[in-house]
Structures are given as C-alpha cells and as structure tokens.
Structure 1
Amino acid sequence: MLAYNGLTLDRAPSRRADPDWIAAQRAHPTTRVIGFWQDKLLPDAHPQPDADAVFLGLDGDTAVFATDLPSPTGQPHDLRALVSTLDPAEAATLAYARGILHWQRNQRFCGACGGATDPRDGGHHRQCRNCGKLLFPRIEPAIIVLVTWQDHCLLARHRGANGYSTLAGFVEVGENLETAVHREVREEAGVRLADVRYQASQAWPFPAGLMIGYRAHAASPDINVDHTELDDARWFTATEVRALRDAEHHSDSIERFLVDGWLTEQS
C-alpha cells in the first residue's frame, strides 16, 4: 500500500455537523488529540481538544482530534522522516491531520471581504463572521509520470535539485489528467507520448496535494530539455535507476511505487 493511503477512520460527516455532538466528543475521557506545531508532529504532547481542534473521525468508538499548539512540547518531528516506523493507518491519520491543520492556519480570514473566519463542521470548513462566505479545504491535484522508451525510462534533474526524478506537475485549469501528463512531459523534456496509462493515486497533504500516477510510452527517444525548468533529462537503464533508488532518502512517495513497478518488469 502506498504511504498515507491507509486511512481507516470513520470521518462521520453527518455527526460532525452537530456542534453539540462535537462538544461531547471533546469532553469525552477517551478522546485522542494529536498535536502539531508548525507542520511538525509532537508525539510526546498530550493536548486538550480546545475549540480550534479539528475532528478527524472515529477510531471505533474513540473520537480523534488534531490541534496546532502555540509552542512545541517535546521534540518536533517531520512526519515523512517517521513514516517508515508507522503502520499504514497511523501514517494516513497523521498526514490527514497535518493537511487539515495547515489549511486551518491559512484560512483565518475571508478572501472575499477580509473578515475573520470561524471553524464549522468539526473544523472541516470555516465561515466568515462578516459576509457569511463558507471556505472549504482545497486539494491541489498533480500528475506524476514514469515515461519509458524500450528498456529505458526518462528521469530529470530539476533546477537546484541534487538527484534525478520522474516528471510531475500540477493540473492546470481546464485540463483533464491525461492532458496534463502530455503537456508536462512535452513542456519540460520535449518528449511526445504515444500512450498514457493510469496507475494509482496517493494522498499527499504536504500541504494539500493529491498525486495521480501514470505510466507512459514515448513516441520517440528524442529529448529537448526546457532549461528554465530542468537542468537535465535523459534515458536511464534499469541498472542505473537501481543505483539511484538505493541512494534515495525518502521512499514514501508514489514516484518510488512507479519506479519499483518498472524495475520489477525489467528483472
């Protein structure tokens, strides 16, 4: 299973809309509260579920909330650095918490009139005190694609990056996902694609992404790098890719899933 995809909480959308039910869950002695500080997990914190705590869902009969703390309690941790030590359900819960808390922090004021906003629906939307506008979390879809040509795959080094990776980019207004794949590969590497095939998607709340993974065959091996976006792009053999993969620090992204799938085919 891809990291952050294993959420098992019941989000209880009909219940969380009831302020009295949310208040009762906040006061319940078995309620769990996950603490964060500036997008960092605080595993040693044991905060109380105050009015700003976001209801994440029910773990069986236990309500789970998340809250941002004004100062760290214990050692703050980068969630991605911990993910290999977590079971899939816990990793997904913590990523969910991180993403919605980040959204809450950045929606304190209304984009329409500038008025202050208050949490509603257990923290899953906010409402402007002045004009009444409702604000909902926004997800930023991005495609990521492993392009192949015969027994090679295309990897690129982005400007300022140390290593090579698959091509990826945000979906633009008016595009479907497959159009975004064709555009991104053509714009950055000058490669035209013969076919595009969906593989999997991954929750990626760092801070608000949804990664949609594809495989694609190139129509030809010709590359024309856009150096405003990339330092380099080239075709790699499976042996070269294995060496790059073994040197990677993170293995939690859908990119690793796409690359590992291709390497298995080359074995």
Structure 2
Amino acid sequence: MPYNGLALDRGRRSDADWLAAALDAGQILAYWQDKCLVAGGRPVRLPTTDREVVFLGAAETAVFAADLSDLDADTAVAQAGAEAAVDIRVLFPQLDRQEAATLAYARGMLHWTRNQRFCGACGGRTAAEQAGHVRRCADCGKLHFPRIAPAVIMLVESPDRERCLLARHRGARDYSTLAGFVEIGESLEDAVRRELHEEAGVRVSEVSYQASQAWPFPSGLMVGFRARADTEDVAVDHDELAEAHWFTRDEVRAQGGTRHDSIESYLVETWLGER
C-alpha cells in the first residue's frame, strides 16, 4: 500500500547528543506550505540549516525535515537551492516505496508543527521537545502530540455482489468510492454505516475490514472496508454528493483508473479481480 511500511528507525528522539551529531551528518528535507522543494524533479536535501527541524528517523543516515513556510515562495525556493515547490502526490509516480512514505511523513509532521505553535488550552507559545514529536506550552506546561484523523473508505457491493456503488461528489467530474471521517463515540464499522446512509441513503449491515493506509495529507489514516448493501435503494443527500449509481465490473473498468497512490485503487481493483 502506498505510504505504508515506513522503515526509518525513530527510536532516538530523546538522545540529544546523538541527534546533534546526526544532524551534522544527515540530510534535511525542505518544504514550503506542505509542498516538497525539488530540483531536477528530485527532493532537495539541505546540507545544514539554522531552522527548527523535525527528526524523521534513521536508515543509512538520519533524516530530518525543515519548514520554510514563513518565507514567500520564491525566497524559499532560492534559499533551498530548489527549482519549485511540488505536491508530493504529483511526485509519487517517480518515487520508490520508502521515499514516498518518508516524504509523506515529513509533510504531515511539518504541517502539525506549523499549526501547533500555540497551545489550544491557554494560547501560550509552544516549544519542540523529543526532536519535534512533542510540543510543550511555555505557559501552562501542557504537552501536545501529533494527532491523526481516522477516516473510513468503502467499496459497497449490491446485494447480489455483481455491482458496486460509486458516487460523484459535487464539483467533481469522476466517480469514486465513498469515504468519511470517524466521529467520536462510534466504531469504524458504525462510521461506514452512518456515512453510507447519510450521504447516499444506502443501508448496509455486512461490513468487513480490508486494509489501512497511512494518509498524512495532512494527518489522516484511511481504513478500508467492503460493505454489502441490504437493498439497491439510493437517495443521495445532494449536499456532498451530486449523484451515486450502481456499476457493473465492465462499467467500472470503462470509467478509467483510480489514483494509484490511494487505498481506493486497492479496494476497487480487488473487487474487479473477483468473479
């Protein structure tokens, strides 16, 4: 699964002496406004920086990430010796598995860092600890940790399992599977049932887990399910969805492919491969 399987060793976050030495000999990925700074189509590695960095982990060398978002775009690109700031999902086709996972992880951590400068409890300024994986409020002492937002994504089968439900969101051109965030007080399976009924008017009782995917865009965890509808009744909410229909396997293939960096592709392709 894309962005899964990050192999970096993150176990030395509290070893200040080791981190200082590793920073001198490691590599620092550069970002601006959630975009990776690149040159020649490849991510830029800064030789050094006086900026706050986040330790991502160690493989052959230690890997850190730095955020240049306080600069304007042209200045950030120039300071990093880059050519452009590019969304990681655009880079994905030319990245190997580990590099994609590392770049996505860096993006998520820097996004959290940039948005946790102040304490949500008292408004005080926070400072980094544990190599950027914890932020402590200077006023009330509250510790802030990176949070993830779990979401469910589901391939819904018709009662006879011969068709699947795809929807077109408002403002979108293509059809896709349905998804939604998990709310407080519900299980993952309950979230599947609620989202399908709220958005598409579809009732399902049979829900089975398929796979999960790291999705740090900026802080998601996608949990994939297969669900079987009780009936073929569909009634879209016309709030998030414009329309939803049942498609045969041949009709899904005719729609074209899904994005191959998303768990949606796995869910759809798995279903297409079944008789």
Query: When the two structures are superposed, what TM-score results if normalisation uses the length of structure 1?
Result: 0.93
Deviation string 1:141-177 (CA, Å, 9 cap, x unpaired) is: 0000000012100011111111111110000001110
Deviation string 1:25-76 (CA, Å, 9 cap, x unpaired) is: 222x3x011111111111333322445110000103x111011123123221
Q: Tell me the equivalent position of 2:18.
A: 21
Deviation string 1:182-208 (CA, Å, 9 cap, x unpaired) is: 111111111111300100000000111
State percent identity of aligned pairs. 59
- Confirm or deny: 8 A CA contact 2:51 2:66 kept in the other structure: no
- Confirm or deny: 8 A CA contact 1:145 1:213 kept in the other structure: yes
Unaligned runs of 5+ in 1: none
Q: Tell me the equivalent position of 1:67.
A: 66
- Matched residues, number: 258
Q: Tell me the equivalent position of 1:253.
A: 262
Q: Tell me the equivalent position of 1:200.
A: 211
Q: Tell me the equivalent position of 2:151.
A: 142
Aligned partner letter, 2:58:
L
Q: Is residue 41 from structure 1 mapped to residue 41 from structure 2 by the alignment? A: no
Q: Is residue 119 from structure 1 mapped to residue 128 from structure 2 by the alignment? A: yes
Question: Which residue, out of 84, 87, 93, partners 2:96?
Answer: 87
Aligned partner letter, 1:226:
D
Aligned partner letter, 1:10:
D
Equivalences for 1:118-267 in 2 at 5 Å? 118-149=127-158, 150=160, 151-246=162-257, 248=258, 250-266=259-275
Q: Tell me the equivalent position of 1:5.
A: 4
The RMSD of aligned alpha carbons is: 1.3
Counterpart Cα distance in 2 of 1:46 and 1:93: 13
Aligned partner letter, 1:111:
G
- Confirm or deny: 8 A CA contact 2:193 2:205 kept in the other structure: no
Unaligned runs of 5+ in 2: none
- Confirm or deny: 8 A CA contact 1:26 1:50 kept in the other structure: no
Counterpart Cα distance in 1 of 2:49 and 2:230: 55
Q: Tell me the equivalent position of 1:54.
A: 54
Deviation string 1:185-239 (CA, Å, 9 cap, x unpaired) is: 1111111113001000000001110000000111111112111221101101111
- Confirm or deny: 8 A CA contact 1:49 1:65 kept in the other structure: no
Query: When the two structures are superposed, what TM-score results if normalisation uses the length of structure 2?
Result: 0.90
Counterpart Cα distance in 1 of 2:14 and 2:53: 14
Runs of 4+ aligned structure 1 residues displaced above 6 Å come to: none
Aligned partner letter, 1:32:
Q
